[in-house]
Chains A and B, each alone.
Chain A
Amino acid sequence: MGSTRTTGVPTKLTQGSQTKGGIGESTLRPDGTLKVTGEFAYSSDMWHEDMLWGQTLRSTVAHAEIVSIDTSEALAQAGVYAVLTYDDLPAAMKNYGLEIQDTPVLAHKKVRHHGEPVALVAADHPETARRAAAKIKIEYRELPLVTDEASATAPDAVLVHEGRDDEHSRHVPHPNIVHRQPIIRGDAAEAAKKADVIVKGEYTFGMQDQAFLGPESGLAVPAEDGGVDLYVATQWLHSDLEQIAPVLGLPEEKVRMTLSGVGGAFGGREDISMQIHACLLALRTGKPVKIVYNRFESFFGHVHRHPAKLYYEHGATKDGKLTHMKCRIVLDGGAYASASPAVVGNASSLSVGPYVVENVDIEAIALYTNNPPCGAMRGFGAVQACFAYEAQMDKLAAKLGMDPVEFRQLNAMEQGTLLPTGQVVDSPAPVAEILRRVKARPLPPERQWESSEGADVRQLPGGLSNTTHGEGVVRGVGYAVGIKNVGFSEGFDDYSTAKVRMEVINGEPVATVHTAMAEVGQGGVTVHAQIARTELGVTQVTIHPADTQVGSAGSSSASRQTYVTGGAVKNSCELVREKVLEIGRRKFGTYHPAWATAELLLEGGKVVTDGGEVLGDLVDVLEGESVEVEAEWRHRPTEPFDLRTGQGNGHVQYSFAAHRAVVEVDTELGLVKVIELACAQDVGKALNPLSVLGQIQGGTTQGLGVAVMEEIIVDPKTAKVKNPSFTDYLIPTILDTPTIPVDVLELADEHAPYGLRGIGEAPTLSSTPAVLAAIRNATGLELNRTPVRPEHLTGT
Chain B
Amino acid sequence: MDFLRPASWEEALAAKAEHPTAVPIAGGTDVMVEINFDHRRPEYLLDLNRIGELREWEVGADTVRLGASVPYTQIMENLRAELPGLALASHTVASPQIRNRGGVGGNLGTASPAGDAHPALLAADCEVEAESVRGSRLIPIDAFYTGVKRNALAPDELIRAVHIKKADGPQQYSKVGTRNAMVIAVCAFGIALHPETRTVRTGIGSAAPTPIRAKAAEEFLNAALDEGGFWDSKKIITPSIAKQFAELASGAANPIDDVRGTASYRRHAVGIMARRTLGWTWESYRGKGRSTEGVA
A and B touch in the complex (CB under 8 A): yes
Taking CB atoms, residues of chain A closer than 8 Å to B279 are 471
Are A463's CB and B181's CB within 8 A?
yes
Judged by a CB distance under 8 angstroms, whether A11 is at the interface is no
Q: How far is the CB of A456 from chain B (nearest CB, A)?
A: 5
| A134 cross-chain contacts in B, Cβ below 8 A | 38
How far does the Cβ of B119 sit from chain A's closest Cβ, in whole Å? 12
For residue A453, which residue of chain B has the nearest CB?
Answer: B295
**A454 and B182 contact, CB distance less than 8 A:** no
Task: Report if A567 contacts B (CB, 8 A).
Answer: no
B185 contacts across to A, CB distance below 8 A = 465
A455 within 8 A of B: yes
Asked, given contacts A454-B295, A456-B294, A723-B259, whether A466 binds B181 with beta carbons under 8 Å apart, the answer is: no
Chain A interface: which of B17-25, B130-138, B230-238, B262-270?
B262-270
The answer to whether the Cβ of B55 comes within 8 Å of any Cβ in the partner chain is no
Q: Which of A130, A454, A463, A465 has the most CB of B within 10 A?
A: A465
Q: CB-defined interface of B28-72 with A at 8 Å, one 1/0 digit per residue?
A: 000000001110000000000000000000000000000000000
What residues of chain B lie closer than 8 Å to A504, measured between beta carbons?
Answer: none
Q: How far is the CA of A412 from the CA of B4 in the complex (A)?
A: 69
| A-contact 0/1 string along B277-296, CB 8 Å cutoff | 00110000000001111111
Residues of B contacting A451 in the complex (Cβ-Cβ under 8 angstroms): 295
Contact indicator B175/A466 (Cβ below 8 Å): yes
A753 at the B interface (CB under 8 A) = no
Query: CB-defined interface of B140-180 with A at 8 Å, one 1/0 digit per residue?
Result: 00000000000000000000000000000000111111111
Q: How far is the CA of A466 from the CA of B84 in the complex (A)?
A: 13
A796 interface residue per 8 A CB criterion: yes
For the complex, what is the distance from the CA of A461 to the CA of B180, rounded to whole Å? 7
- Cβ < 8 Å to A, chain B residues 87-114: 88, 91-92
B98: shortest Cβ distance to chain A, in Å?
Answer: 12
A794: chain B residues within 8 A (beta carbon): 265, 268-269
Which residues of A724-739 are within 8 A (CB) of B?
Answer: 725, 727-728, 730, 732-736
Residues of B within 8 A of A789 (CB): 178, 261
CB-CB nearest in chain A for B272: A668
Is A274's CB within 8 Å of the partner chain B?
no
A296 at the B interface (CB under 8 A): yes
A733 to B95 alpha-carbon distance, docked (Å): 10
A68 within 8 Å of B by Cβ?
no
Which residues does chain A contribute within 8 Å of B215, judged by CB atoms? none
Within 8 Å of chain A (Cβ to Cβ): is B276? yes
Query: What residues on A are CB-neighbors of B26 within 8 Å?
Result: none
Are B179 and A733 interface neighbours, CB within 8 A? yes
> Within the assembled complex, what's the spacing in Å between the Cα atoms of A468 and B292?
11
- Select from chain A the residue with minimum beta-carbon distance to B36: A294
Chain A residues lying within 8 Å of B184, measured Cβ to Cβ, are 727-728
A174 in contact (CB, < 8 A): no
Are B294's CB and A466's CB within 8 A? Answer: yes
- Contact between B291 and A796 (Cβ–Cβ < 8 Å)? no
How many angstroms between the C-alpha atoms of A542 and B52 in the bound complex?
54
Option from B88, B92, B179 in Cβ contact (under 8 Å) with A732: B179
A457 interface contact, C-beta 8 A: yes
Quick check: A733 and B180 within 8 Å, CB to CB? yes
Q: Is B243 an interface residue (CB 8 A)?
A: no
Inter-chain contacts of A791 with B (CB < 8 A): 261-262, 264-265
Residues on A with C-beta less than 8 A from B267 are 796
A189 to chain B, nearest CB (A): 41
Q: Any chain B CB within 8 A of the CB of A288? A: no
Measured as residues with beta carbon below 8 angstroms from the partner, the interface class of chain B is 35 or more
Pick the interface stretch among A177-185, A553-561, A624-632, A669-677. Answer: A669-677
Q: Is B15 an interface residue (CB 8 A)?
A: no
Among A102-149, those with CB < 8 Å from B are 130, 134
Considering only residues 110-125 of chain B, those with a C-beta below 8 Å from chain A are: none
List the A residue with the shortest CB-CB distance to B175.
A465
Q: Are A669 and B176 in contact (CB under 8 A)?
A: yes
Interface residues of B in 184-237 (CB under 8 A from A): 184-186
Given contacts A294-B36, A794-B268, A796-B262, contact A455 B291 (CB under 8 A): yes
A469, B294: Cβ atoms closer than 8 Å? yes
Bound complex: CA A214 to CA B29 (Å): 21
Among residues 237 to 270 in chain B, which have CB atoms less than 8 Å away from a CB atom of chain A? 259-262, 264-265, 267-269
Who on chain B is nearest to A458 by CB?
B296
Nearest CB in chain B: distance from A661 CB, A: 16
Q: How far is the CB of A706 from chain B (nearest CB, A)?
A: 13
B89's closest neighbor in chain A, by CB? A466
Q: Which A residues touch B273, using CB under 8 A?
A: 467, 669
Q: Which of A465, A471, A668, A670 contacts B92 (CB 8 A)?
A: A465
B164 CB, nearest partner CB in chain A, Å = 19
Q: Does A751 contact B (CB under 8 A)?
A: no
Inter-subunit contact A467/B291 (CB<8 Å): no
Bound Cα distance A501, B280 (Å): 70
Most buried by B among A708, A734, A790: A790
B183 on interface, CB distance cutoff 8 Å: yes
A462 interface residue, CB < 8 Å from B?
A: yes
Contact B175 A790 (CB under 8 A): no
Whether B92 contacts A466 by the Cβ 8 Å rule is yes
Q: Are B264 and A454 in contact (CB under 8 A)?
A: no
CA distance A714 to B190 in the complex (A): 33
A76 at the binding interface (Cβ < 8 Å): no
Q: In the complex, which of the residues B184, B185, B267, B291 has the most CB atoms of chain A within 10 Å of its own CB atom?
A: B291
Q: Are A465 and B183 in contact (CB under 8 A)?
A: yes
Q: Mark A689-728, 1 if CB is under 8 A from B, else 0.
A: 0000000000000000000110001000000001101011
Task: Kindly state the separation between the CA atoms of A319 and B177 in the bound complex, as whole angstroms.
Answer: 44
A293-322 interface bits toward B, Cβ cutoff 8 Å, 1 = contact, 0 = none: 010100000000000000000000000000
How far apart are the CA atoms of A722 and B258 in the complex, in Å? Answer: 9
Min Cβ gap B160→A in Å is: 29
Q: Distance in Å from the Cβ of B269 to the closest Cβ of chain A?
A: 6
**Is A213 an interface residue, CB under 8 A from the partner?**
no
Are B295 and A730 touching (Cβ within 8 A)? no
Contacts of A467 in B (CB 8 A): 174-176, 273, 276
Closest B residue to A715 by beta carbon equals B259
Q: With A451-B295, A669-B272 given, is the CB distance from A733 to B173 under 8 Å?
A: no
Say yes or no: is A464 at the interface (Cβ < 8 Å to chain B): yes
Nearest A residue to B181 via CB reads A735
Are B265 and A466 neighbours in the complex by a CB distance under 8 Å? Answer: no
Contact across chains for B174 and A464 when beta carbons are under 8 A apart = no
Q: How far is the CA of A129 from the CA of B17 in the complex (A)?
A: 33
Using CB atoms, name the residue of chain A closest to B172. Answer: A466
Q: Find A673's partner among B180, B259, B292 (CB 8 Å cutoff).
A: B180
B276 to chain A, nearest CB (A): 6
How many Å from the CB of A464 to the closest CB on chain B?
5
Closest to B41 in A: A131
Say whether B265 contacts A670, CB under 8 Å: yes
Residues of chain A lying within 8 A (CB to CB) of residue B36: 294
Give the nearest-CB partner of A728 in chain B: B259
Of all chain A residues, the one with the shortest Cβ separation from B277 is A466
Give the contacting residue for B294; candidates A296, A455, A671, A727; CB below 8 A: A455
> When chains A and B are docked, how far (Å) is the Cα of A472 from the Cα of B269?
13
| B180 adjacent to A468 (CB under 8 Å) | no
Cβ–Cβ contact B265 & A790, under 8 A: yes
Known A-B contacts A294-B36, A796-B264; the reply to A466 vs B269 at CB < 8 A is no
A791-B262, A794-B265 known; A464+B176 contact, CB < 8 A:
no
Query: How far does the alpha carbon of A727 sit from the alpha carbon of B39 in the complex, in Å?
Result: 15
- Asked if A454 contacts B259 (CB within 8 A), the reply is no
**CA gap between A463 and B41 in the complex, in Å:** 36
- CB neighbours (8 Å) of A130 from chain B are 38
Query: Which residues on A sit within 8 Å (CB–CB) of B259?
Result: 713, 722-723, 728
Ordered by A's residue number, 14 sampled pairs between the chains whose C-beta atoms are within 8 Å are A454-B293, A463-B179, A463-B180, A471-B279, A669-B272, A708-B178, A723-B259, A725-B37, A733-B179, A790-B176, A790-B261, A794-B265, A794-B268, A794-B269
Q: Name 4 extra pairs, CB < 8 A, besides A465-B185, A796-B262.
A: A296-B37, A456-B294, A464-B181, A791-B264
**A interface, CB within 8 angstroms of B:** 130, 134, 294, 296, 451, 453-458, 460-469, 471-472, 668-671, 673, 708-709, 713, 722-723, 725, 727-728, 730, 732-736, 789-791, 794, 796
